[in-house]
């Protein structure tokens, strides 16, 4: 009889342990204030991103590295998937003739996915001025999407892609 009770006790303990360790605890719900704080922080990341593109001396590709995840960056560009270092090389190459860029967000949205992750979508307009004397070009609407992740150093892009609309020459005068 003692043996049967011991076996039943072991089965109950094993079953309870299996249940407790196999069933994940759902994450606690976030408050509206926490969601609003995350949205504001990711909006700040999007402002910083346009900021490195719109510096008075031209696009600051080096500063852009600080806004990309140090280990997990996937940047879509012309059909390619770029890591952080490849993004930097592309940025330097693509902006070598850029004198100045003016960019303005026209629409933005942040969807909080978790305490440390959010999806971003936004539209912006931009004007590009060139070093070689080419006429400035204006793009009325471009769009960007991305996944932002909170790291110990702050929010950074983990995945990002953008698409520019058609450009037109800026009339002088």
Looking up residue 98, the CATH number of its domain turns out to be 3.10.450.50
pLDDT score of 12 more than 80? no
Q: Of 12-16, 61-65, 108-112, 138-142, which range is least confident? A: 12-16
In a domain, 12, yes or no: no
Q: Is residue 127 part of a domain?
A: yes
Q: How confident is the model at residue 116 (pLDDT cuts 50, 70, 90)?
A: very high
SS3 39: helix
pLDDT of residue 11: 45
Number of Cβ within a 10 Å radius of residue 50: 17
Could you tell me the pLDDT band of residue 1, with boundaries at 50, 70 and 90? low
Whether residue 9 has pLDDT greater than 90: no
Q: Categorize the per-residue pLDDT at 22 as very low, low, confident or very high, splitting at 50, 70 and 90.
A: low
Query: Per-residue DSSP letters for 86-155?
Result: HHHHHHHHHTTTEEEEEEEEEEEEEEEEETTEEEEEEEEEEEEEETT-PPPEEEEEEEEEEEEEEETTEE
Q: How confident is the model at residue 171 (pLDDT cuts 50, 70, 90)?
A: confident
Q: What is the pLDDT of residue 16?
A: 41
Strand partners, 100: 129
Residue 8 lies in a domain: no
Residue 39 CA, chain-centre distance (Å), reads 12
Residue 121 lies in a domain: yes
Q: Average pLDDT for residues 70-81, to the nearest whole number?
A: 88
55 part of a folded domain:
yes
Residue 2 has pLDDT above 90, yes or no: no
Mean pLDDT, residues 95-114 taken together: 95
User: Tens digit of pLDDT for each residue in 125-146?
Assistant: 999 999 999 999 999 999 999 9
Band (pLDDT 50/70/90 cuts) for residue 77 is confident
Average the pLDDT over 56-81 and give the result.
90
Give the gyration radius of the chain's Cα atoms: 24
Domain span at residue 115? 32-169
18 within domain boundaries = no
The answer to the question of residue 49 being in a domain is yes
For the cut 60, the answer to whether the pLDDT of residue 44 exceeds it is yes
How many structural domains are present in the chain? 1
By CB atoms closer than 10 A (0-12, 13-18, 19+), residue 65 is: middle
The answer to whether residue 162 sits within a structural domain is: yes
């Amino acid at each position: 009889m003692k043996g049967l009770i011991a076996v039943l006790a072991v089965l109950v303990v094993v079953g309870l342990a299996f249940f407790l360790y196999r069933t994940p605890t759902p994450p606690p719900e976030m408050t509206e204030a926490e969601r609003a704080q995350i949205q504001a922080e990711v909006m700040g990341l999007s402002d910083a991103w346009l900021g490195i593109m719109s510096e008075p001396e031209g696009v600051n590709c080096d500063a852009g590295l600080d806004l990309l995840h140090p280990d997990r960056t996937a940047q879509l560009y012309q059909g390619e998937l770029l890591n952080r270092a490849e993004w930097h090389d592309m940025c330097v190459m693509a902006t070598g003739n850029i004198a100045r860029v003016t960019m303005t967000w026209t629409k933005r949205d942040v969807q909080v996915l978790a305490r440390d992750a959010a999806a971003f979508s936004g539209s912006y307009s931009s004007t590009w001025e060139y070093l070689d004397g080419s006429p400035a070009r204006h793009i009325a609407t471009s769009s960007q999407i991305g996944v932002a992740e909170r790291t110990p150093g702050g929010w950074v892009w983990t995945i990002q892609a953008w698409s520019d609309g058609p450009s037109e020459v800026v009339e002088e005068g």
